[in-house]
Amino acid sequence: MKKLFAAMFVLALGLGLPLSAQTAKAQPVLSTGNTAWVLVSTALVLFMTVPALGLFYGGLVKKKNVLSILMQSFITLALVSVIWVGFCYSLAFSDTELIPGVLGDFKWAFLSGISPDQLSPYAISDQTGRIPHLLFVMFQCMFAVITPALIIGAFAERMKFSSFLVFTTLWTILIYTPMAHMVWSTNGWLCKLGALDFAGGTVVHITAGFSALAVVLYMGKRNYLKPTPPHNLPFTLVGAAMLWFGWFGFNAGSALAADGIAASAFMTTNTAAAAAALVWALLDRLLNGKPTILGVATGAVVGLVAVTPAAGFANVGGALVIGAIASGVCFFMVSFVKQRFGYDDALDAFGCHGIGGLVGALLTGVLADPAVWKAYGGNYTGAAYGNPHQLLVQLIASVVGIALSFLGTLVLVKVVDLSLGIRVDAKSEAMGLDITQHNERAYTVIE
């Protein structure tokens, strides 16, 4: 009898051990590997704004405005970084809310209550461990920085610097922050609806692109708009290459782990960019006679934009499709639609980011492959794999993003215009913003 009780006791312990181990494993733990990868990814996303985006846009404007573009990119990094840690991160990601489903509260204002040893409350999968909360704040900060910086390309060469600062501040608080909460916070109503946006197709590119359209429609065309080629195409190509490089942090870093999902996002990012660059070069050759540096650089950026929402959900074949389709659609927008309607989207922020982001967001609802997440416990399925409802959800999220960004931006630019005046005067525009706004010159005399 004693032997029987002893055997039962040992058996109970044996059965209990897996349960205990399973319980312990379920608790979030810090992963130094994931932390290292997201630290690098955060630096890569910062690199996308300064210097990559500044050089990409700076090479496209007239030489008398190149410093103004670089300054706007650089100051956005400083300005939004302070706003973000002050209260925008809390409004975007806190688990308590001022407006349910739309906006968080000031729980983590100035990062109150967030200590270095605290783990991030957000993780795509706990299988490989979490990152520090402070690192998640910083990673998301770089997304908040680059999004308003993208809009610079629309109103290039004609906005007052003081007005730019006020507009960027208001836009980050009132447009970007609630959109980030709705889509990426676990309490956000679009997140609960099931919207898929792996790295910012809706939150970043649709909001920036359609806000860009609102700004240019309000401000009107440049006074001295004449056929002027980009003043420094090497700047633009180097900037595009830097963006391609940094985008691996943007997309693969959004896995928040150094795992198979990050590797998949890395692969789809590169594939979509490559496909889009080739398609743009082909269209250039067929319709304009010759492929161009500007074309392949623009095409690559469009592919990167379009694959962003799908990077962690689509397979390689899906990435090829997304890159090719987005490139064709954006080529049409930039080459024909803009000329037909006459809006002065100076550096095609709307045509590339707004439309590219929209195409990518919708195609995510078609091409999300459940096999990508099978080993990680996720089930993200698009219409091509038997779930047409996902396309409807993507459409709803896109419409919300378009409405909030376009209509909200119209209100903001009107407020800024009434208070400060939003455009430089005709003489300042003719002289160039480098001199009139910053009293500096790059490498040329005044035109």
Q: What is the pLDDT of residues 358-401, one digit of tens each?
A: 999 999 999 999 999 999 989 999 999 999 999 999 999 999 99
Cα gap 56→126, rounded to integer Å: 37
Task: Note whether residue 16 is domain-resident.
Answer: no
What pLDDT, on the 0 to 100 scale, is given for residue 17? 38
330 pLDDT higher than 60: yes
Cα gap 256→126, rounded to integer Å: 10
Quickly state the pLDDT bin for 6 (edges 50, 70, 90): very low
440 pLDDT higher than 90: yes
Task: Note whether residue 380 is domain-resident.
Answer: yes
Instruction: Provide the terminal-to-terminal Cα distance of the chain, rounded to the nearest Å.
Output: 102
52 pLDDT higher than 70: yes
Task: Note whether residue 320 is domain-resident.
Answer: yes
What pLDDT, on the 0 to 100 scale, is given for residue 127? 79
How many residues can be counted in the chain?
Answer: 447
What pLDDT, on the 0 to 100 scale, is given for residue 226? 73
2 pLDDT higher than 80: no
Please compute the mean of the pLDDT values over residues 57-75 and round it to a whole number: 97
Q: Which CATH number characterizes residue 434's domain?
A: 1.10.3430.10
Task: Note whether residue 5 is domain-resident.
Answer: no
Task: Note whether residue 173 is domain-resident.
Answer: yes
Number of domains in the chain: 1
Q: Collapsing DSSP states into helix, strand and coil, what is residue 104?
A: strand
Give percent of the chain with pLDDT exceeding 70: 93
Q: Collapsing DSSP states into helix, strand and coil, what is residue 118?
A: coil
Task: Note whether residue 218 is domain-resident.
Answer: yes
Cα gap 327→314, rounded to integer Å: 17
The mean of the pLDDT values for the chain is 93
18 pLDDT higher than 60: no
Q: Collapsing DSSP states into helix, strand and coil, what is residue 30?
A: strand
Q: Collapsing DSSP states into helix, strand and coil, what is residue 409?
A: helix
Q: What is the pLDDT of residues 115-139, one digit of tens each?
A: 999 999 998 877 779 999 999 999 9
- Which residue range forms the structural domain that includes residue 209? 30-438
Task: Note whether residue 158 is domain-resident.
Answer: yes
258 pLDDT higher than 50: yes
pTM score: 0.93
Task: Note whether residue 2 is domain-resident.
Answer: no
Quickly state the pLDDT bin for 329 (edges 50, 70, 90): very high
What pLDDT, on the 0 to 100 scale, is given for residue 309? 98
Residue 72: CA count within 13 A, CB half-sphere: 36
Q: What is the pLDDT of residues 260-281, one digit of tens each?
A: 999 999 999 999 999 999 999 9
Query: CA torsion 289→292→298→304, rounded to 10°?
Result: 100
